[in-house]
Copies of this chain bind each other. A is one copy, B any other.
Amino acid sequence: MGEEEVQVFGFRSGPYSLRVELALKLKGVDYQHIDEDLVNKKSNHLLLKYNPIYKKVPVLVHHGKPISESLVILEYIEEKWRENYLILPQDPHQRALARFWAKYIDDNVVPAVQKAARSKEEEREKSIEEAQETLEPLEKELKNKSFFGGDKIGFVDIVGLVLACWIPATEEAVGFELLSTHKFPNLTKWAQHFVNHSVAKEVLPQKDVLVAFLKNVVFVPKN
């Protein structure tokens, strides 16, 4: 490792860790991935040292200094490596909107999708509707753009990879439909476009691998 020593403590398919890795790849920053064995909960002692508050991934360690929380890490990556690729818009108002939508995804969309995926049969329909309601403003926001970032992957896209990659896999693993082409033509097109982007492809897990993980580890039916 040279001067730019960058380590990512992450979980290989975890949407929050993937954000950090995708941002680094887009910037062309070399890094070392240190995988956390979340399934067996054998936490790396370095993770406890680097993120004593939450003890969770992702953690970015740059020159030995740790940073936690994926949105905070993305801001750091943007500030540290500005030369190659910008993930946030340059206009302050547009930057604020990007930050707003990123926070919106984490505060509203992710919990609603998780709730729907874990809902019991009798609550399924209602919880899907609620999750879809959280997606509607994003469908509108996307308009005719290729990406939330315009013609290239930006901050909201990176944060939204949880939608592009995890929602379709969750739909298949759980057996429900949430992000339908009919209701969300912009978002489904965007998701397709996103997962086939050359840089995103290097980072994002294969759908079938993710579906198997979700089926066998996350959404195991209780007996």
> Quick one: which of B67, B92, B95 contacts A100, CB cutoff 8 A?
B67
> Quick one: which of B53, B80, B96, B97 contacts A92, CB cutoff 8 A?
B80
On chain B, the residues within 8 Å of A67 by CB distance are 93, 96-97, 100
The answer for the CA separation of A128 and B29 in the assembled complex, in Å, is: 45
User: Copy number of this protein in the oligomer?
Assistant: 2
| A71: Cβ under 8 A from any B Cβ | yes
On chain B, the residues within 8 Å of A103 by CB distance are 69, 71-72
From 169 to 210 in chain A, residues with beta carbon under 8 angstroms from any chain B beta carbon are none
| A76: Cβ under 8 A from any B Cβ | yes
Contacts known (A53-B104, A104-B53); A95 close to B71, Cβ less than 8 A: no
Per-residue 0/1 for A61-73: is the Cβ within 8 Å of any B Cβ (1 yes, 0 no)?
A: 0100101110111
| A150: Cβ under 8 A from any B Cβ | no
Q: Are A75 and B99 in contact (CB under 8 A)?
A: yes
The answer for the CA separation of A103 and B100 in the assembled complex, in Å, is: 14
How many A residues, CB 8 Å from partner? 23
Per-residue 0/1 for A107-147: is the Cβ within 8 Å of any B Cβ (1 yes, 0 no)?
A: 00000000000000000000000000000010000000000
Per-residue 0/1 for A85-100: is the Cβ within 8 Å of any B Cβ (1 yes, 0 no)?
A: 0000000110111011
Across the interface, name the chain B residue whose C-beta is closest to A60: B96
| A79: Cβ under 8 A from any B Cβ | yes
Q: How far is the CB of A10 from chain B (nearest CB, A)?
A: 17
The answer for the CA separation of A68 and B102 in the assembled complex, in Å, is: 12
On chain B, the residues within 8 Å of A69 by CB distance are 99-100, 103
Q: Are B53 and A137 in contact (CB under 8 A)?
A: yes
Q: Are A72 and B92 in contact (CB under 8 A)?
A: no
Q: Are A100 and B65 in contact (CB under 8 A)?
A: no
Q: How far is the CB of A156 from chain B (nearest CB, A)?
A: 13
A93, A96, A103: most-surrounded residue (chain B CB, <10 A): A96
The answer for the CA separation of A97 and B62 in the assembled complex, in Å, is: 13
On chain B, the residues within 8 Å of A79 by CB distance are 92, 95
On chain B, the residues within 8 Å of A95 by CB distance are 75-76, 79
Q: Are B53 and A72 in contact (CB under 8 A)?
A: no
Q: How far is the CB of A62 from chain B (nearest CB, A)?
A: 7
